[in-house]
Each structure stands twice: as structure tokens, then as C-alpha cells.
Amino acid sequence: MEHRRLRRILRPILVALALVAFAACESRDEELYIEQPVEDLYNLAMDSMAAEEFKKAVKQFDEVERQHPYSVWATRAQLMSAYASYMINKYDEAIIAAERFAQLHPGHRDVAYAYYLIAISYYEQIADVGRDQKITEQALGALDEVIRRFPQSEYARDSRIKVELARDHLAGKEMNIGRYHLDRRLYVGAINRFRAVIENYQTTSHVPEALHRLTECYLALGVTREAQTAAAVLGFNYPGSDWYVDSYALLTGRNLAPQKDEGSWITRAFKTIF
């Protein structure tokens, strides 16, 4: 009986509280979703960018598009949101946003920048040579896309530089694995890795060492003509290299001298390069 009486007394209070809570929620929602002039929203986001509050800026640029999806400001906001994500190292978000911009606005004057932002977001995630290099390959693909689509742009010029750095990184990975095999006297495996550097990454800084390591491997296997060719090609193309000094010493220590074999794959590879 007492329990029922308390319920009758409390019911109006609970209903009143519920109505107050609902009104408060409704009021907050109206404040949150109230439409604002597009210029004001965009300028607020730009102010956040200037203050280096990039996380806040991302939300504000997204709000520009949410409230005014068909305005020119929304188009700008899409790209600025990608850039703000990039600035806080949210690379996946930056890539997704930039790709969306490029798909929606393929003829936009800033689409080259969108492709460059994708490439640089991959590029800045490149790990050290001891780790998996999938991200490096993605960076190379995206950088090549910038160069192919916008060959005369400033982004293409910078992309060409970064392509060489990324290729050098991949060559470094091959060298690491090759040295690992060489240290364990797995000479055939080592040769395959050093050969990959010669054939696929000829313009990188790793080529002189790769030629020297080939000299080492071929000598260890008793394949003297290939060892002599590797040293000869090394001496001809990098005569001042310390690697050539080491290769020359290895050969002369066995009463051999650098001598190029025109039928060697090494000679053929370098004929196509230089």
C-alpha cells in the first residue's frame, strides 16, 4: 500500500524531470545543428588552422560541407579537411579525404595538390629499411601518379626528388637482405638481392656496394669471370669509390684483375643504363 502511494507521488515528478531533460537535449541539439552562414563556418575553420588547432579545424571544415554541401566553400573545405588531417599525422584520414576530393572534382584547379597530398601522406609513413616496405611501394605509386598526371607542376618536380629517395629506400631493403644472406654464406640468395639492386634501382646510392658484394659472392662460388666483370664495371663507373678499392684488393689477392665479360648480365645491365 505504501509502495503504491509513493509511486503515485513520484510519478508527476519523474514526468516533469523527463520533460525538462528532453527539453534540455532538444535545446542542445538545436544549438549543435543550427545552420550558420557558410562564410562564418569556413572562416572559423581557417582561424583554427592559423592557431594550429588542426583537430578542431577538421571538424569545422567537415561542418561546412555538412551544412552547405553544394557551395563552393564545401569544395574548398573538403581539401582543407584533408590537409588539416595531414598536419596532425592522421595520414589515413588525409588520404581518404584527398581521394574523395579528386574523385568528386577531377577538373578542379587544385586537384594536382590533392594527388600530391595523397602521395606525401604515404611518403611520410615510410619505415626504416629493416621493416616491411609496402608503404614505400604505395608512396612510389602515388608519386608516379602525380608526375604522370601533372608533369609540369611544382608538385611533379618535388615528387621526382621523392621518387629517387623512395627508390633508394627500397634498394636499401634489398641490400639488407643481401648482406644477411652473404653473412650466412647463402651466396645464391645474396646474388639475387644484389642483382635486383643493379637491375631495378640503378640510379640509387647502393649500386657501388652491390657491385662489390657481387664480386665477393662470385669469388666465393668460384665464378671468377662474373667476379672480374662486377669489379671492372664498378671501376669504370665509380673509379673513385672505396668499394672499387676493396673489390680490386679481393681480385689481386687471388692473382686476378678486373676484366669485363661482354656476355655477362652485369655488362648488359649497365649498357642499358649509361
Give the domain CATH number at 144.
1.25.40.10
In-domain check, residue 146:
yes
Q: What is the pLDDT of residue 38?
A: 78
91-150 pLDDT, tens digit each: 999 999 999 999 999 999 999 999 999 999 999 998 765 666 788 899 999 999 999 999
Average pLDDT, the chain: 86
Q: Same domain, yes or no, for 129 and 246?
A: no
4 domain residue, yes or no: no
- Decide which of 135, 168, 201 is a domain's last residue: 168
Q: What percent of the chain has pLDDT over 90?
A: 72
41 and 144 share a domain?
A: yes
* 155 and 196, same domain (yes or no): no
- 213 and 160, same structural domain? no
Instruction: Identify whether residues 144 and 225 lie together within a single domain.
Output: no
**Of 168, 193, 215, which residue constitutes the final position of a domain?**
168
Tell me which of 29 and 76 has the higher pLDDT: 76
Alpha helices in 34-89 (DSSP H): 38-50, 54-67, 72-87
Instruction: Place 272 in a pLDDT band, splitting at 50, 70 and 90.
Output: low
Establish if 19 belongs to a structural domain: no
The whole-model pTM stands at: 0.74
pLDDT exceeds 60 at position 1: no
What is the pLDDT at residue 8?
46
Higher pLDDT, 141 or 2: 141
Q: What is the pLDDT of residues 9-50, one digit of tens each?
A: 334 433 333 343 334 444 444 445 567 887 888 889 999 999
* Cβ-count burial 3-16 (b if 16+ within 10 Å, e if not): eeeeeeeeeeeeee
Do 210 and 260 share a domain, yes or no?
Answer: yes
The reply to whether 138 falls in a domain is yes
> What's the structural domain count of the chain?
2
Based on the domain organization, do 140 and 74 belong to the same domain?
yes
Say yes or no: 192 and 148 in one domain: no
Checking if the pLDDT of 208 tops 80, the result is yes
Q: Which of 157, 161, 124, 122 is nearest to 141 (CA)?
A: 122
The verdict on residue 10 lying in a domain is: no
With cut-offs at 50, 70 and 90, classify the pLDDT of residue 218: very high
Please check whether residues 222 and 142 belong to one and the same domain: no
Q: Which of 68, 62, 60 is nearest to 43 (CA)?
A: 60
Note whether 134 and 205 are same-domain residues.
Answer: no
Domain final position from 168, 194, 226 = 168
Q: Rounded mean pLDDT of 235-245? A: 94
Write the DSSP assignment of 194-249 as a string of letters.
Answer: HHHHHHH-TTSTTHHHHHHHHHHHHHHHT-HHHHHHHHHHHHHH-TT-HHHHHHHH
- Is 27 inside any structural domain? no
Q: What pLDDT does 176 receive?
A: 95
Is 175 a domain residue? no
Residue 68 in any domain: the answer is yes
Residues spanned by the domain of 223: 185-271
Residues 190 and 145 in one domain: no
Same structural domain, 150 and 102:
yes
What are the tens digits of pLDDT across the range 7-18? 443 344 333 333
